[in-house]
Amino acid sequence: MLERVLEPEVMDDREEAVAYNDMNHDAVNDKFAEDLLSLGDIGTDCLDIGTGTALIPVALCKRHPEIRVMACDASYWMLELARYNIEVEQCAHRVQLHLADAKKLVFQKDYFDTVFSNSLVHHLPDHADFFIEMVRVLRPNGVIFLRDLLRPETSVHVESLVQQYGGEDAHGQQMLRQSLHAALRAEEVRTLAAAVGIPAECVQVTSDRHWTLAARANESKQSFVPISTAP
């Protein structure tokens, strides 16, 4: 069984941030946005934790005429590139950028209709505070939607996924390789979710390399129910 190997929590190097932004994430980001919107009523005030260069908020704004996104990241350079992206795509009036630690959010409780995050969890060395904060800032009846990489069972499987999805660039392949080694298994995510009242069935393996958590809170936020994306 492949052991988890951590990678840096924050990509706060300009060259690394530029390399990440230059990679083609369109298919993954579009799928994330479409799946989130297929969950039903997600409100209009959303929080994206670990937004990177804000490509998913841009994708959401193109699809949803009323959505507003608070886009948070712990990397200064990621947010500098995000600022350019939202200006070019004319989303600056609907996407607000915020430098933040996912484990210590400044927002008041019950503040957002939906909290979402893509590919952040594998960057965190510890996850309990992130899950606690995510639930704290969510409004009653709100939606949580997370997606991230799934740690393979073997190094051979890692290399197979790198060859399939890592592209032609050696640096991009290495970034994916490191991320797969740092990712969690579905059962590890289910344990973290259970600690904040999210049932195990809210966490599903949704591709050959991803898990997804999709849940809606009840009125008191004491419990959650699973919600499924459209087929």
Instruction: Kindly report the CATH number assigned to the domain that includes residue 160.
Output: 3.40.50.150
Q: Is 91 within the bounds of a domain?
A: yes
Report whether 33 contacts 39 (CB < 8 A): no
Does residue 231 fall inside a structural domain?
no
Task: Determine, yes or no, domain membership for 1.
Answer: no
Domain boundaries, position 170 = 14-226
Cα angle at 38 between 180 and 104, to 5 degrees?
A: 55
- What backbone phi and psi angles, to 5 degrees, belong to 124? -90, 130
Residue 63 in tokens: 């699809």
Q: Residue 100 has which token pair?
A: 């933040």
**pLDDT number for residue 231:** 54
CA distance 54 to 158: 27
* pTM higher than the cut 0.85: yes
Report the domain count for the chain: 1
The ranges of the chain with pLDDT < 50 are none
Residue 44 in domain = yes
**Residues 92-116: b if buried by 16+ CB within 10 A, e if exposed:** eebbebbebbbbebebeeebbbbbb
CB 120 within 8 A of CB 184: no
Q: Is residue 166 part of a domain?
A: yes
Instruction: Give the 3-state secondary structure of residue 173.
Output: helix
Say what the pLDDT of residue 226 is. 96
Question: Using an 8 Å Cβ cutoff, are 181 and 5 in contact?
Answer: yes
Three-state secondary structure call for residue 95:
strand
> Following CA atoms 26, 24, 131, 201 in sequence, which dihedral angle do they give, to the nearest 10 degrees?
60
Phi/psi for 155 (5° steps) reads: -65, -30
Q: What is the pLDDT of residue 172?
A: 84
Where does 23-70 have alpha helices with state H?
26-37, 55-63
Task: Write down the pLDDT at residue 168.
Answer: 86
